[in-house]
Structure 1
Amino acid sequence: MESVRIRPMAEDDLPGTERASAVTFLEGDRLTRRVSEPEPEPRSAEASRRWIERMRFFLSIDPGGCWVAEDAGDIVGFAISQNRGPIWYLATYGVLPGRQGKGVGSRLLDAALAHADERPGLFSSTVHPGATRRYRLAGFSLYPQMRMVGVVDRSALPKVTGLHEGREEDQEWMDRLDHDLRGAGHGPDHSFMRNTLRLVVSRASGRPGYVYIDQDRGQPALLAAGHPQTAQKLLWEALAASRGPTLVNCITSANHWAVDVGLTARLDIGQEGYLAVRNMAEPAPYLASGHFL
């Protein structure tokens, strides 16, 4: 472990960090795969490109939250976190399988948490026992998350009204909604997501809401609403955009409105990791994004 150096990330580190991330999460997926699920596959070249672009964005907005573990010129771990006003979030974090259990992860998390500077925070966690122990010791509450997968029963899709394509001028009220639900707006994250995902909004008085839809994958990427009924309409809109298998994840127990939609759409439900939060409430109605929370 003494040969491993924890240092700030630089842009030149992005390709090596992506490779470390791909190996780390592929191994994690293989270890947690259910018997009924297909064997996890390595990231495609396009998925790797998108990952690097997201991390480049984080590095440009808040470089102080981006750290790597380096050994003899190789990236063996990473922790990419961001401050957004009074909220901190951990976008991604991992250590190569052969380097786990040797203190590298603890040192990386310490660097990311130092950047948080006691802010309330949140992130989506795997079920890795060593990692979850570390998160709990750092003061995070762990809320079990569910996920729903499958092909949407198109005959179950309801007629959805009152939704609109999102525009740049929606960001002001979206940030206010974010603040109500999680204590801070997404700020520049909205601009990045709007350029890479489809944004659908409800501008109804007293019942605002939005959902980002990954049209390539046919799934919701981030959803926030002022009322559960609005959240359900937005989730139905996202499911209607799916073409083939879809995924709805980051569903905590406070968001059973999403479970009702998924079961009606004939999706299969299962447990997947935790939403870790510190010094803040569990957001609802809200489906977090894996990277943008």
Structure 2
Amino acid sequence: MTEVTIRPMRPEDVADAERLSAESFLDLDRRMQRRDAPDPELRPPARREAWLLRTRHLLETDPGGCWVADDDSGLIGMATSFVRDKTWCLATYAVRPGLQSRGIGRQLLEAALHHGRGCLRGMLSAGSDPRSARRYRLAGFTLHPQMHLTGTVDRSAIPVVERVREGSASDTDLMDSIDRQVRDAAHGPDHPLMQRLWRPLVSDSTTGSGYAYVDGSGAVQLLAATTRATATRLLWAAVADGPAEQTIAHVTAANEWAIDVGMAARLELHSEGYLGLRGMSPPSPYVHSGALL
């Protein structure tokens, strides 16, 4: 292998980084695939555009957290990370298939972690690759198993949902306040991006406040609330508006209220990957985003 250079990501690297990450995740999905799961596919165009938009956003708002590895053949690895309110988050991390276990990933992760050296807390969402899990654990992260619920929704089980409305940019301050209460860090500049990518739902009453982001397929991408009752209400609202086939992803054991909603809707429970945390407990009531946490 030729000499590897670890350097800051540049805007012209983003498209190549997207293709590399898509190929890396496809390779991982194929290696870790359950027998009953559908065949993995390369990231579709709509998700590719969202990935590009998110990575350019991170490169603009926190360039010190974005790194790539290259050699004579071109880009062979990448990592994007960011800091919000003294919390460091890993967004994406990938090494070209066939080049893993050669120290490239370790160097990229070290560069990204150095960006968060002054942070009190850390968050990352990992798949089921045992090599990645080992690397995160050695970096000091506690690994909390993640679950997801999937299947055909039993419409007869959906309760009447009240006090949930469409959100807007005017709710951003409320959302940041909820973030700070639930995970000790606001999403800050990430909320305008998420409001562009996803549909926001808000519940704000004297008994509790919360919000959720729902993507075009009806899947919850992020949910935060000050009470479990509010979180449950928001999740049921998303399920009620969603399609027949749904998935509720990124659920930790600290969020059994989400498991209860999924099971009441007759979805099947599975485990997959980890939420890695450093200096903090699993946020609750909270369903984290895979990349923007």
Bin for the TM-score computed over the shorter chain? over 0.9
Match of 2:247, as an amino acid? L
> 2: distance between equivalents of 1:137 and 1:155?
47
Q: Hey, what does 1:233 align to over in structure 2?
A: 233
Match of 2:249, as an amino acid? N
Q: Is 2:69 the partner of 1:69?
A: yes
Q: Hey, what does 2:116 align to over in structure 1?
A: 116
How many Å apart are 1:73 and its aligned residue?
4.9
> 1: distance between equivalents of 2:259 and 2:59?
35
SS in 2 for 1:143: strand
Q: Hey, what does 2:174 align to over in structure 1?
A: 173
- Unaligned stretches of 5+ in structure 2? none
Q: Hey, what does 2:154 align to over in structure 1?
A: 153
> 1: distance between equivalents of 2:71 and 2:48?
22
TM-score (norm 2): 0.97
Q: Hey, what does 2:281 align to over in structure 1?
A: 281
Q: Hey, what does 2:8 align to over in structure 1?
A: 8
Q: 1:252-291, aligned counterparts within 5 Å?
A: 252-291=252-291
Moved more, 39-48 or 108-117: 39-48
SS in 1 for 2:193: helix
Q: Hey, what does 1:251 align to over in structure 2?
A: 251
Moved more, 200-209 or 255-264: 200-209
> 2: distance between equivalents of 1:76 and 1:239?
39
SS in 2 for 1:82: strand
SS in 2 for 1:142: strand
Q: Hey, what does 2:60 align to over in structure 1?
A: 60
How many Å apart are 1:244 and its aligned residue?
3.5
Q: Is 2:49 the partner of 1:49?
A: yes
TM-score (norm 1): 0.97
Q: Hey, what does 1:195 align to over in structure 2?
A: 196
How many Å apart are 1:16 and its aligned residue?
0.5
* Cα contact 2:211–2:234 (8 A) shared by 1: yes
SS in 2 for 1:3: coil
Number of aligned residue pairs: 292
SS in 2 for 1:208: strand
Q: 1:15-164, aligned counterparts within 5 Å?
A: 15-119=15-119, 120-164=121-165
Which ranges of 4 or more aligned residues in structure 1 deviate by more than 6 Å? none
1:82-117 Cα shifts (integer Å, max 9, x gaps): 011211100111111211000000000000000001
Moved more, 219-228 or 36-45: 36-45
Q: Hey, what does 2:218 align to over in structure 1?
A: 218
Match of 1:181, as an amino acid? V
SS in 2 for 1:218: coil
* Cα contact 2:141–2:277 (8 A) shared by 1: yes
What's the % identity of the aligned pairs? 46
Match of 1:11, as an amino acid? P
How many Å apart are 1:62 and its aligned residue?
0.5
Distance 1:57 1:212, change over 3 A: same
Q: Hey, what does 2:185 align to over in structure 1?
A: 184
